[in-house]
Amino acid sequence: MMIWMPIAMAVLGLAYMLVKKSWVMKQDAGDGKMKEISDHIYEGALAFLNAEYRLLAIFVVGASIVLAGIAFYMDSTYLIVVAFIIGAIFSAFAGNMGMKIATKTNVRTTQAAKTSLPNALKVSFGGGTVMGLGVAGLAVLGLTLFFIGFYYLFMGGEWTTTEDMTIVLEALAGFSLGAESIALFARVGGGIYTKAADVGADLAGKVQADIPEDDPRNPATIADNVGDNVGDVAGMGADLFGSYVATVLAAMVLGNYVIKDMGGAIQDAFGGIGPILLPMSIAGVGIIISLIGTLLVNISSNDAKEADVQKALNIGNWAAIAMVAAACYGLVTWMLPATMQMNFFGEGLQDISSMRVFYACLVGLVVGAGISAFTEYYTGLGSKPILKIVQQSSTGAGTNIIAGLATGMISTFSSVLLFAAAIWSSYALAGFYGVALAASAMMATTAMQLAIDAFGPIADNAGGIAEMSEQEPIVRERTDILDAVGNTTAATGKGFAIASAALTSLALFAAYVTFTGIDGINIFKAPVLAMLFVGGMVPVVFSALAMNAVGKAAMEMVNEVVRQFREIPGIMEGTGKPEYDKCVAISTKASLKEMMLPGLLTIGFPILVVLVGKLAYQDNNMLVAEMLGGYMAGVTVSGVLWAIFQNNAGGAWDNAKKSFEAGVEINGVMTYKGSEAHKAAVTGDTVGDPFKDTSGPSMNILIKLTCLIGLVIAPILGGHSNDNSHSEADPSEVRLEMKGDTSKMATTTSTTSTTESGKKIAKVQEVENTVEEIKKKANKAETTVSRAVQKGKKKE
Amino acid sequence: MMIWMPIAMAVLGLAYMLVKKSWVMKQDAGDGKMKEISDHIYEGALAFLNAEYRLLAIFVVGASIVLAGIAFYMDSTYLIVVAFIIGAIFSAFAGNMGMKIATKTNVRTTQAAKTSLPNALKVSFGGGTVMGLGVAGLAVLGLTLFFIGFYYLFMGGEWTTTEDMTIVLEALAGFSLGAESIALFARVGGGIYTKAADVGADLAGKVQADIPEDDPRNPATIADNVGDNVGDVAGMGADLFGSYVATVLAAMVLGNYVIKDMGGAIQDAFGGIGPILLPMSIAGVGIIISLIGTLLVNISSNDAKEADVQKALNIGNWAAIAMVAAACYGLVTWMLPATMQMNFFGEGLQDISSMRVFYACLVGLVVGAGISAFTEYYTGLGSKPILKIVQQSSTGAGTNIIAGLATGMISTFSSVLLFAAAIWSSYALAGFYGVALAASAMMATTAMQLAIDAFGPIADNAGGIAEMSEQEPIVRERTDILDAVGNTTAATGKGFAIASAALTSLALFAAYVTFTGIDGINIFKAPVLAMLFVGGMVPVVFSALAMNAVGKAAMEMVNEVVRQFREIPGIMEGTGKPEYDKCVAISTKASLKEMMLPGLLTIGFPILVVLVGKLAYQDNNMLVAEMLGGYMAGVTVSGVLWAIFQNNAGGAWDNAKKSFEAGVEINGVMTYKGSEAHKAAVTGDTVGDPFKDTSGPSMNILIKLTCLIGLVIAPILGGHSNDNSHSEADPSEVRLEMKGDTSKMATTTSTTSTTESGKKIAKVQEVENTVEEIKKKANKAETTVSRAVQKGKKKE
């Protein structure tokens, strides 16, 4: 009954989420002006999400038809379409729910900040907790329910063969694809929205009218606050929802292959599917652990500083990670056979103890913590790279930007080395199952991570509301403390998101190879190498499109703001009312329009690769599968690099600018806000905005979605479902039949049974046939020779 | 005697070069002030190069010891060390020669500009021609001489076996490695020098004292002009010298493999080495074609505009490309067997007509032209992307920089697709030999490209001298026309350089795989995938180091200039003399110091990959070879992307800034120099400077050198030389044996190469052992038969 455990955990998490939500909603929402502003933000965000969902509904219908076509062509199950649609709905719902609670919590945080800082943290982090538990709970609930449904539908709730399980998991991939597709548009659309509004508001406000941030006279300021919610909250939520689902799915696929490597069936206390259940169980337990983690986050002193708040968050986070490590130990040793056989490339079957799988989990936790630490080093206030950027600001915006770019670029060094080491070591420990479980362990604290992440924009919004509703300075000071911490957690959260995306993609990549049945991806084949290049290019072009979109939308925004400043009488004196809704409309329209092309690029390119490949090599599906694999690898490698580069450069510029608020020493002189150096730093931040909040975070989805699309296409190219549904023979019969052969054949069979596809059997047999022929020839030659020799001897 | 043809061509080119040089030197070098400035530049450049060469001498000694160690360990020839040293010397000599002629031509161009524009073009392009022919001539001469020497030394000047030829080519790789190592430091050191001086002079001049470019009161102005020569001339020369040599070498290696695929020996009119001689012959003929091309460059009207000058250069360039196409047709059909057998991955041996090799050459020419066209589109004055950047400058430096970055990023789209298509099609046409010959055909016009490239900085210098020596405005106007054209040719030249580097690297990559004897590079193996990530990261970190170096050195420069402005009395009034040499010294010292780390990264990382791999897999050289291959692929893919991105972003910013000189329309208002928008564009250009002249062009060398180091390490891992030197069997016997089973054997091998994975290796090896046994039997049988036949004949 372990199969129901993740659902129980998810329901528990969701129940707690509802309790927490009603607590948050019960908090005082403040007076008239505050409520009014908050309502503006809520309505703006809702308007955007509704418009976005209308558009996405069309996309989901279109994609469903394509998927149904694939299912028809493959003669596989149409249930993948159902899974896809539900996955999309769940993802949209998760984002929507997060956005709603965030926009309700912001004003309550402002109100709480009037009383004390601990209260403000409690309310804002409470909102984040609702969001985190909601997203994680929905993810585990949806995935597990579908798995159980398909498990009973296709296998009658009992282990039959790995082939049948593959069909279950292929259908389940639809759920993940649906979730990730929505995440793409939520991330990209939200990212464009938030930065178009932010950059537009900044440029218009600071440059054109010289009024401070969040000033209510700036017509773009509501749009800016809406952006925080649709980008940083809804977008991030959909992103991690997708990662969570995809990671668990990939680990399940690879768990199935462990069973395959072990001979196609195992005996355990979990109906023979322990390795498949394990990732789901880790995810389920992770929800409860995150719940406990959130309870540990609180401060008591009203005089707390940023460091204290950060410490409170860190305690919760580290406790959660430690608990996950312990839980992984328990679950792994309990659910996995003590010793497994796994097939290693070039080394054949090896015995792997369950402890090695646990070590792989630890690798994942180390990567998560490591990436966050690196991110903090490169983007944290007061760190060496930030101080260098500050120094370089003294000679103008040019040198500030060179320094920021260089910081982002050089930050790839440590993170990539860590990744490379993680890939290598987790694979060496427990094969690609180890890689996938490393990702699963890391993702187990997703709910906690999201709580920490979502708290940032809530605090940011709370500060904005305080400013706009002209509260006492102490209120803004308190929200500023929370906001500053939120900036750091936003950066480390992005590190976590990219690390999770990278590990997830690797696991999906491995699942892809096993789905297609290819032997690997050989980049020495020219078409594969060509696709590696093409794949490497896509994240770069994707980023450019996203940045251009922000630039374009921000320009529109600036023009609109300038128009309002000019045309609305008394706006600068505070007697005229700015038309906030016009700015909201501009951001909404622009972001929806501009997210199309990057989306098309992401979804269209892998399909194009397959079509071109099929045109060129009609009869060689394996080569086409390798080409797509090369493309996926290119996207992943390049995407990870560009994500780290852009996130960290953006974060570094942001905090270099922020450093001037407290004052910095440049060449021995204390320099503050308003100085020339500060202006240069502001320019750097403007460049960094789309980097860190639009194009950078979109890379996560780009690489995950690319690998997921590959996984869904995989059966067409490799044809598991195809092989099985059209095969008249019972698989067990085939195995039996193979056993009959001589010793030579026996080795063949064991190889064949570990490696799946019938194609491979054909190949090995082809080799053997050739050998047979050569043997015959040699024999013939030998006889000829001996005859000739005999003849010669006779003559002599 | 075809083997001597390339030498004859190279000598002819060098002879013409000397004639042209003496003509240039005979031109009037102007009056006292001009000469004085020119001498300053010459001395500064010479001082830098001398300091650089002293440093590099130490490096060459160290690297030679390492190479000797490798040769000792491998039991291979020490002559690779000799080739390495001579290669390094040749490369240094080529750069030095180019720099000298450039610094002598600049002042003569200024003087010629006093009389007429056609004269100024004639002189400046004459200097470029000397440089181009000198570099190309030396490259062909050196490579061919060494080849002939080794050919006679190891093979007695007669075809023996492909294994012997591999030894020849392995030794020859030393020449290429020497050339490319020097190129690395010349490119990086020169790039840092030129941009440190340029950015420093700009910032100090424009920002701090508001004096125009090239104003003689600016102490950094001489350093700036020196930089043009050591970076754009000497650096570019060493870069293309290296590309030229590496391309031809790679094509020769792959030509040897064509012979291997054809059974180990062919009969042709070129001593059986037609496919190996062909790339050298194309290079040789290319020198003469370039010579003819340069003769076609001239203008007649004194009122000519940029477009006319550009047209004159284009005529020469296109004529040269057309002639190369014709020459390739002639050479390919003449020198290659009408039909060849080539081994294609997974498809076995195929018959390839020589015409298909010719088509592959055409692919190379199309790539060269295509990349240049794309570069011009994204960076040319008046093009759509440039106008967009100009528009975005109106809202400040932030949006200008976002637009420039996005332009650079999006420009990767068309270029990468072109590359991918080129890789795929040239491979489909004629295997990796086709890829290598595509590169060779493209590189054939190197001398012409260099002449066009070198003319730009000469004209730039001439303008600087005109300004500093306070000539009539008409002189500066004329040199400005040449300078403007030079900016465009610099951008397209960079496109050519990266295209050549990419194709060269691919060819080297293919040669690497054949040298090591691995079946391919399977990125589904975790350690290989990990190295793909690491390789992808290196160009990014390399770029960051180069940019940081420029930033640091520029800051030092600014501080020095500000000090001089403050401390030297009368400097701003023109009565005090600035200390130019101090600025030159700062640039020299900084660039030499800062080029170390990127150099170490480039050379050290591939070695580190091998060491780590060897530590992990002592007994599996093949896996280590695959890991290094994955690393090489990562560097190449990421390096090409970052090169295009950085070059084009930099070029676009530069020309967006230049657009303001003639005036641009922004929102319906004509905007000129000195406007706020122009200031924003200047900031963009500052960021673009290190992009396009330091880190961007360094990518070429990074990827080429990485692949070359791989090629030199290859025998250690794969061990062809090793196999042969330790093999007791006579290679010719082996060949005979291979011939025996012909087509069937080929399919066996290819099938084996596509199947691998786990246990399969063991299985396949089992099969292979059987095949080996059969082979031995067949071999024995064959020798017995032939002996019997001979005996029989004798008796008859």
Q: Which two tokens stand for residue B734?
A: 């082996």
Q: What would you report as the CA-atom Rg of chain B, rounded to the nearest whole angstrom?
A: 27
> Which whole number is the average pLDDT over B730-738?
34
- Please indicate if any CB of chain A lies within 8 Å of the CB of B706: no
CA distance A347 to B760: 9
Q: Are B407 and B652 in contact (CB under 8 A)?
A: yes
**With contacts defined as CB-CB under 8 Å, which chain A residues touch B739?**
none
Per-residue pLDDT tens digits for B622-661: 899 999 999 999 999 999 999 999 999 999 999 899 889 8
Tell me which range, A345-349, A526-530, B663-667, is most confidently predicted by mean pLDDT. Answer: A526-530
Q: How far is CA B531 from CA A417, A784, B589, in A?
A: 9, 53, 34
Question: How large a percentage of chain A has pLDDT more than 70?
Answer: 89
Identify the pLDDT of residue B748: 38
Strand A348-353 relative to strand A664-666, pairing: unpaired
- Please indicate if any CB of chain A lies within 8 Å of the CB of B761: yes
Closest CA to B714 of B631, B630, B625, B632: B625
Backbone φ and ψ for B535, nearest 5 degrees, come out as -60, -40
* A586-589: long-range pairs with CB below 8 Å, 24+: A586/A196, A586/A223, A586/A553, A586/A556, A586/A557, A586/A560, A587/A48, A587/A193, A587/A196, A587/A197, A587/A200, A587/A223, A587/A226, A587/A227, A587/A553, A587/A557, A588/A44, A588/A47, A588/A48, A588/A51, A588/A193
Are A132 and A72 in a shared domain?
yes
Does the residue B725 lie in any domain? no
Q: Please name the amino acid found at residue B318.
A: W
Instruction: Select from B663, B683, B718 the last residue of a domain.
Output: B718
pLDDT confidence band for A157 (50 / 70 / 90): confident
List CB contacts of A112: < 8 A, sequence separation 6 or more.
A27, A28, A119, A120, A122, A123, A124
Q: Which two tokens stand for residue A468?
A: 């706009």
Shortest Cα distance, chain A CAs vs residue B384, angstroms = 14
Does the residue A657 lie in any domain? yes
Are B346 and B212 in a shared domain?
yes
CA distance B643 to B636: 10
CA distance A130 to A19: 9
pLDDT surpassing 60 at residue A188: yes
**How big is the CA angle at B230 (ends B226 and B234), to the nearest 5 degrees?**
145
Q: Which two tokens stand for residue B177?
A: 């490695």
> Which whole number is the average pLDDT over A318-340?
94
Instruction: Give how many domains chain A has, as a whole number.
Output: 2
Does the residue B727 lie in any domain? no
**How big is the CA angle at A753 (ends A749 and A758), to the nearest 5 degrees?**
90
Are A709 and A766 in a shared domain?
no
Shortest Cα distance, chain A CAs vs residue B691, angstroms = 9
Does the residue A89 lie in any domain? yes
Shortest Cα distance, chain B CAs vs residue A661, angstroms = 20
Question: How large a percentage of chain A has pLDDT more than 90?
Answer: 46
Does the residue A733 lie in any domain? no
Q: Are B367 and B442 in contact (CB under 8 A)?
A: yes
Least confident of A500-504, A760-764, B583-587: A760-764
Identify the pLDDT of residue A779: 62
Closest CA to B756 of A522, A258, A434: A522
pLDDT surpassing 80 at residue A740: no
DSSP A333-373: HHHS-SEEEEEETTTEEEEEEHHHHHHHHHHHHHHHHHHHH
CA distance A247 to A505: 8
Are B641 and B785 in a shared domain?
no
Write down the H helix ranges in B595-730. 596-616, 621-662, 676-690, 696-717, 720-726
- Please indicate if any CB of chain B lies within 8 Å of the CB of A547: yes
Rounded (10°) angle between helices A79-115 and A446-468: 50
Per-residue pLDDT tens digits for B399-454: 899 999 999 999 999 999 999 999 999 999 999 899 999 999 999 999 999 999 88
Are A678 and A777 in a shared domain?
no
- Please indicate if any CB of chain B lies within 8 Å of the CB of A663: no
The three state secondary structure string of A275-322 is HHHHHHHHHHHHHHHHHHHHHCCCCCCCCCCHHHHHHHHHHHHHHHHH
- Please indicate if any CB of chain A lies within 8 Å of the CB of B541: yes
Q: Are B441 and B285 in contact (CB under 8 A)?
A: no
CA distance B422 to B406: 25
End-to-end alpha-carbon separation of chain A, Å?
86
CA distance B175 to B168: 12
Q: How far is CA A633 from CA A125, A679, B424, in A?
A: 38, 41, 18
Q: Are B684 and B654 in contact (CB under 8 A)?
A: no
Are A478 and A608 in a shared domain?
yes
Per-residue pLDDT tens digits for B243-298: 899 999 999 999 999 999 898 888 888 888 999 999 999 999 999 999 999 999 98
CA distance A460 to A474: 15
Identify the pLDDT of residue A794: 61
CA distance B775 to B769: 9
CA distance B415 to B424: 14
Shortest Cα distance, chain A CAs vs residue B292, angstroms = 35
- Please indicate if any CB of chain A lies within 8 Å of the CB of B773: no
- Please indicate if any CB of chain B lies within 8 Å of the CB of A47: no
CA distance A657 to A680: 9
Are A683 and A768 in a shared domain?
no
Q: What is the pTM of this model?
A: 0.87
**Do A767 and B770 make contact, defined as CB atoms within 8 angstroms?**
no
**How big is the CA angle at A458 (ends A453 and A464), to the nearest 5 degrees?**
135
Q: Are A631 and A531 in contact (CB under 8 A)?
A: yes
Identify the pLDDT of residue A232: 83
Q: Which of B402, B638, B774 sits opposite A638 (nearest CB)?
A: B638
Are B624 and B751 in a shared domain?
no
Of residues A307 and A743, the one with the higher pLDDT is A307
pLDDT surpassing 80 at residue A787: no
Identify the pLDDT of residue B779: 58
Task: Kindly tell me the sign of the dihedral angle through the C-alpha atoms of A605, A611, A616, A622.
Answer: positive
Beta carbons within 10 angstroms of residue A69's beta carbon: 11
Does the residue A737 lie in any domain? no
The three state secondary structure string of A460-524 is HHHHHHHHHCCCCHHHHHHHHHHHHHHHHHHHHHHHHHHHHHHHHHHHHHHHHHHHHCCCCCECC
**DSSP label at residue B522:** B
**Mutation to test the A interface, candidates B537, B646, B785, most A Cβ within 10 Å:** B537
Q: What would you report as the CA-atom Rg of chain A, rounded to the nearest whole angstrom?
A: 29
- Which residue, chain included where needed, has tokens 């390399």? B542
Of residues B123 and B760, the one with the higher pLDDT is B123
**With contacts defined as CB-CB under 8 Å, which chain A residues touch B550?**
402
> Which whole number is the average pLDDT over A497-510?
87
Which residues constitute the domain of residue B554?
Answer: 8-518+527-718
Of residues A657 and B772, the one with the higher pLDDT is A657
List CB contacts of A275: < 8 A, sequence separation 6 or more.
A255, A256, A258, A259, A266, A335, A336, A340, A433
**Do B412 and A540 make contact, defined as CB atoms within 8 angstroms?**
yes
Are B659 and B760 in a shared domain?
no
CA distance A536 to A634: 4
pLDDT surpassing 60 at residue A744: no
> Which whole number is the average pLDDT over B682-687?
91
Does the residue A526 lie in any domain? yes
Least confident of A12-26, A494-508, A635-649: A494-508
Are A220 and A367 in a shared domain?
yes
Are A27 and A124 in a shared domain?
yes
Identify the pLDDT of residue B609: 94
Identify the pLDDT of residue A792: 61
pLDDT surpassing 80 at residue B66: yes
Are A450 and A301 in a shared domain?
yes
Residue A773's closest chain B neighbor by CA?
Answer: B744
- Please indicate if any CB of chain B lies within 8 Å of the CB of A387: no
Identify the pLDDT of residue B747: 38
Does the residue A726 lie in any domain? no
> Which whole number is the average pLDDT over B565-593?
86
State the count of interchain CB pairs (< 8 A) between A and B.
363
pLDDT surpassing 70 at residue A386: yes
**DSSP label at residue A577:** P
- Which residue, chain included where needed, has tokens 């090995």? A764
List CB contacts of A154: < 8 A, sequence separation 6 or more.
A77, A164, A167, A168, A171
> Which whole number is the average pLDDT over B233-242?
89
Instruction: Select from A719, A737, A764 the last residue of a domain.
Output: A719
pLDDT surpassing 60 at residue B721: no
pLDDT surpassing 60 at residue A58: yes
Least confident of A85-89, A260-264, B141-145, B765-769: B765-769
List CB contacts of B126: < 8 A, sequence separation 6 or more.
B20, B23, B24, B105
Chain B stretch 635-654, residues whose beta carbon is closer than 8 A to a beta carbon of chain A: 637-638, 640-641, 645
CA distance B747 to B750: 5
> Which whole number is the average pLDDT over A727-745?
34
CA distance A622 to A760: 11
Strand B339-344 relative to strand B348-353, pairing: antiparallel
Instruction: Select from B670, B693, B718 the last residue of a domain.
Output: B718
**Mean pLDDT score across all residues of chain A:** 86
> Which whole number is the average pLDDT over B751-757?
41
> Which whole number is the average pLDDT over B367-374?
90
- Please indicate if any CB of chain A lies within 8 Å of the CB of B759: yes
Shortest Cα distance, chain B CAs vs residue A199, angstroms = 9
> Which whole number is the average pLDDT over B578-594?
89
pLDDT confidence band for A429 (50 / 70 / 90): very high
Least confident of A619-633, B132-146, B656-670: B656-670
Q: Are A128 and A453 in contact (CB under 8 A)?
A: yes
Identify the pLDDT of residue B750: 37
Q: Which two tokens stand for residue A247?
A: 């990671």
**Mean pLDDT score across all residues of chain B:** 86
